[in-house]
Amino acid sequence: MTSLYKALSELEKNNQPAALCTVVKSEGSTPRHVGSKMLVYPDGKFIGTVGGGDLEHRVLDEAWMAISDGTPRYLHYNMADPSRGDPGVCGGQVEVFVEPILPAPTLVVIGAGHVGKAVVHLAKWLGFHVVVSDDRAEFCTPEATPGADEYLPIEMGKLAESLKITNRTYLAVTSRGSGVDAHGLPPLLESEAAYIGVIGSKRRWATTVKALKEKGVKDELIAKVHSPIGLELQAETPEEIAVSIMAEVLMVRDKGTGRQMRGGKRAVIGNQ
């Protein structure tokens, strides 16, 4: 059990996913007692056991699905008659709680200028695992852009080769120009990223779209991009623009609408 808890600590340290399966109820004759645990990794490896045999195989399948969809599971099994689908003949009943352990979502800031630095600071405060990437190595350091968890001083177009981009990865492109975007975006558009936002005016984005189409990038991939990036807040300073960007990221992540929450009637403040 000690190694399992150490593994849990490593998951948090390395920002990796897994599923923790715990026997929460056991009646009659069952393979394992209440409190038995199994930690399951996405690659098929696991630590510990909840009973072995067909029971454990079924729990493993549920654990991998939980990692994929992020939904916990409460599983109940009778252990009496395999001919009716039971996973054993012990005679008892067992219940297992499967808890997905998901890493913090990753926010990749591509372009470490004034806005990029502000986005890094805010995203870290909001609990994201923050990665900074810039092809200008002098900008992509803890000294130049403090607060990130990782630094990748590479071209945007090579980012997908150096970083695993999943459906829990959010890309905020705060680069220095349309030419950089048109050159670097195509591989990112092919990724599973949950969000791709590109900074700049509508005119700049139109120029980028034209260049992407000339490269043969399909319309459905271009349509994945949020540009101009962020929600309309009339933001001007780098810090205000960072709030606008992260507001949109949170809206996409949590399936919000971006509408004001105040209703049609004026809110009552204090005792009237």
What percentage of the chain's residues is helix, strand, coil (to nearest 5)?
Answer: 35, 20, 45
Q: Is the peptide bond before 228 cis (omega within 30 degrees of 0)?
A: yes
Q: Between 249 and 28, name the one with better pLDDT.
A: 249
Indicate whether 272 pLDDT > 80: no
Q: Between 21 and 14, name the one with better pLDDT.
A: 21
Residue 1's pLDDT is 63
Which residue carries 């349309």 as its tokens? 178
Distance CA 107, CA 170 (A): 5
Residue 51's pLDDT is 79
Residue 132's pLDDT is 98
pLDDT digits (tens, 9 = 90+) for 136-176: 999 999 999 999 999 999 999 999 999 999 989 999 999 99
Section 47-64 average pLDDT = 87
pLDDT digits (tens, 9 = 90+) for 138-148: 999 999 999 99
**Of residues 221, 231, 227, 234, the one with CA closest to residue 193:** 221
Distance CA 151, CA 113 (A): 14
The domains of the chain, with CATH numbers, are: 14-101 (no CATH), 106-253 (3.40.50.720)
pLDDT digits (tens, 9 = 90+) for 16-39: 899 999 999 887 666 678 899 999
Q: What single string gives the DSSP state of each residue in 177-201? A: -HHHHHHHHHHHHTS--SEEEE-S-
Section 119-146 average pLDDT = 96
Q: Between 271 and 260, name the one with better pLDDT.
A: 260
Indicate whether 260 pLDDT > 90: no
- 91 — pLDDT class (breaks 50, 70, 90): low
pLDDT digits (tens, 9 = 90+) for 202-221: 999 999 999 999 999 999 99
